[in-house]
Each structure stands twice: as structure tokens, then as C-alpha cells.
Amino acid sequence: MKIAVLPGDGIGPEIVKEAVKVLNVLGEKFELEEAPVGGAGYEAKGHPLPDSTLALAKEADAILFGAVGDWKYDKLERALRPEQAILGLRKHLQLFANFRPAICYPQLTGASSLKEEIVSGLDILIVRELNGDIYFGAPRGVREAPDGLFAGSKEGFDTMRYSEPEVRRIAHVAFQAAQKRGKKLTSVDKANVLETSQFWKDVMIDVSKEYADVELSHMYVDNAAMQLVKAPKSFDVIVTGNMFGDILSDEAAMLTGSIGMLPSASLDKNNKGLYEPSHGSAPDIAGKGVANPLATILSAAMMLRYSLNKADQADRIENAVRKVLEQGYRTGDILTPGCKQVGTVAMGDAVVAALRNGPRPG
Ligand code: IPM
Ligand code: MG
């Protein structure tokens, strides 16, 4: 099992190091190979997604990704900015299905900015389409407006589009995810305004005929944004397009009060995947040893479950993380009174200790 390890920028290297430490004590034979990506790719090879990094990602069975981005690259032309690395990997590897769980751990309900009763026990899953929509739709650019009230003046434009196979494949992924959970799927769109959204909705309804056991409902994205803060527990699985999913998944993550805890997976049609924490590169705290490595450690668990067929090892890691929370270990981002504040490395060590002391797979 070959794992491409792409630490990236900011806190990426420190948190990935802890996840690698955890992988290395499982007693499995993983071949881990590291490569630069994002700003680190640009520094090393002149491109955020160097050819050698892309080649490694393609040949590996799974990718463990840290984070990319740093303010110091803001002045680079768009094609060279760190974000292009993650967009390029998603596109080149056809990682179209993005799983973003938002779970409020019982020990951390106090860390949420919402009232405890609204978020305690929260466990929802956002399935975000990752290869289409206005993110990748052509044409795009800056031009002279060909029509409209301001015809002839300069305008910026992008294109929102979704083809039927694109919507179908994410619909199947979402319905199947809902089947394994609470059997409720909410498709989020803006069908009251957008043609693309009406089309998305019609395809969802068509695919739903194959999943009689899943209850499908539809919600406009503005209402979904409201319901997520009003009654987040009323959701089970949400499926939505690339743009709406980007926004709603940040909102959902923040409900839990601990974006530093949330892993994510981006899968292709064969369940090969890229695994990364839901948070970003946090350049302001990079190198200080205070970042929370748990989202990356939990991403490694997702990798074991979805791409490497090692659900028992994934369970072990998730149990170990629960254990360290019970023991009261907290990094600064999830600290509440009465807990033990630790840094990045000590948190990784605590997970390793919990793994060593916990039950092993049969
Ligand atoms: C995310 C990020 C990316 C996105 C950026 C870094 C391009 O916000 O993974 O949600 O917009 O998809
Ligand atoms: Mg985002």
C-alpha cells in the first residue's frame, strides 16, 4: 500500500508528521513517499503542483494531504498560487466526491459558538461535488461585455454548468452514503433562480427512484445556510454542488466549534482518495507547535477505511482520538477550562499512547 504524503504549507508539515507517526505504529506495511505541494512545490520546483508530485499522487493508492496556502504567495499569478495544487489534484485524479463530516464530539460541545442543545450530538455529512460547477466551468475570464446594460465595458465572468453524468455520479455516492447512515438526503440547490440547479434537482429526483429506502428532500441554499445554524441536527446527509458545498461545509464545520477536529475525503469512482483536514494552512500559527493534528490523524483514519480497506485500523485510530479527548488533552483551539493544554507533538504522542494501550484488531 503506497501512500503519497503531501504536507504542503503553513501548519501542513507539523500536522502531517503526527498523522504519519500514528500510521507507523499500526503494525501495517505502508510505503510512504513525500513530495512538495502548494507554496512548497513552488519553492522547490517552480509550480504548486510539480509534475513529479502529480505522478506520485497518480501512482499511489491514497494521498495524505496537509494544507496549502500562505499570504506570501498572494501576489503570484493565479496559475502559480498554492490553491491550484489542490484544484489540480482534484481535477487530474477525478476526485469528484468530497465527504465532509461535521461531528460535535460530546467532550467539545462547549467549544461551539452555538448553544449546547443545538449542537450536542451533531453528526452530519456534507457530500460536495468537486470536479464541476463554476469552479471549473468554461468559458471564464475578463472580456468586453458583449451585451446587457453595460455592453462594451470590461467584465469578469465564470460559467456554472453541470452535465448529467456528473450529477448522476455524485447523486449515487450521496444516496449510498445516506443508506449507511440515517437514510435522509437533502439536496441543496438554487433551483428558484438557476437553470443548472433546476437540472441538478431533476437528476437527483430521477436517481432517487433507485434508492427507495432513502428519503430525498430539496432545499434552497440560502435556506440551508439558515437551517444549519437554526437546527443543524435536522440534517443527515447533504449533497450539493462545488460552490455551495464550499460555503456550507465551512459553516457546518464551525458549528462543531472545532474545525481542527474535522477530516475530509475526496474520492474517485474507484474509492482512491485524497485525505486532508477540513481546516486550512493557518500560516499565523505555523511552526509554533500549537496546531491541532487531530483532523489530519482522523483523515488518515478515513483513508484506511475508504481507500485501503482497513476499517478495523480506522476504528482503532478513531477510538484512540476519543480516548485522548476523554483524558482531557486539548490543543489551544479546543481548550475549555479544566483540560490539559498540549501542543501538536504531545497530542500526536497521546494518540500513539492510546493506540498502544487500546485493543488491537483481531
Ligand atoms: C476547500 C478550499 C478550496 C476550495 C480552495 C483552497 C481552493 O476552500 O477545500 O474548501 O475552494 O475548494
Ligand atoms: Mg473551502
Question: What per-residue confidence (pLDDT) applies to 229?
Answer: 96
Query: Which DSSP helix (H) or strand (E) runs through 238?
Result: strand 237-240
Q: State the pLDDT at residue 106.
A: 87
Residues composing the chain:
362
Q: What's the rounded mean pLDDT across residues 190-197? A: 98
Cell representation of residue 30: 505502508
User: What does the alpha-carbon distance between residue 23 and residue 29 come to, in Å, rounded to a whole number?
Assistant: 10
Q: Is 224 annotated as a binding residue?
A: no
Q: How many CB atoms lie within 10 A of CB 110?
A: 13
Domain architecture of the chain: domains with CATH: 1-96+271-361 (3.40.718.10), 113-256 (3.40.718.10)
The answer to whether the CB of 182 falls within 8 A of the CB of 195 is no
pLDDT in tens, 95-107: 999 999 999 988 8
Instruction: Report the residue among 246, 249, 251, 278 best suited for mutation to probe ligand 1: largest number of ligand atoms under 8 A from its CB.
Output: 246
Give pLDDT tens digits for 141-150. 999 999 999 9
Closest C-alpha to ligand 1, atom 12: 246
Dihedral angle over CA of 304, 16, 36, 310, nearest 10 = -10
pLDDT higher than 80, residue 265: yes
Active site residues: 135, 190, 222, 246, 250
List the residue whose alpha carbon is closest to atom 5 of ligand 1.
83
pTM of the full structure: 0.93
Query: Residue 361's pLDDT is what?
Result: 59
Q: Residue 63 is placed in which grid cell?
A: 494521498
Mode of pairing for the β-strands spanning 123-129 and 237-240: parallel
**Which residue owns the Cα nearest ligand 1 atom 2?**
246
- The mean per-residue pLDDT over the stretch 172-190 comes to 97
Q: Are strands 184-189 and 215-220 parallel, antiparallel or unpaired?
A: parallel
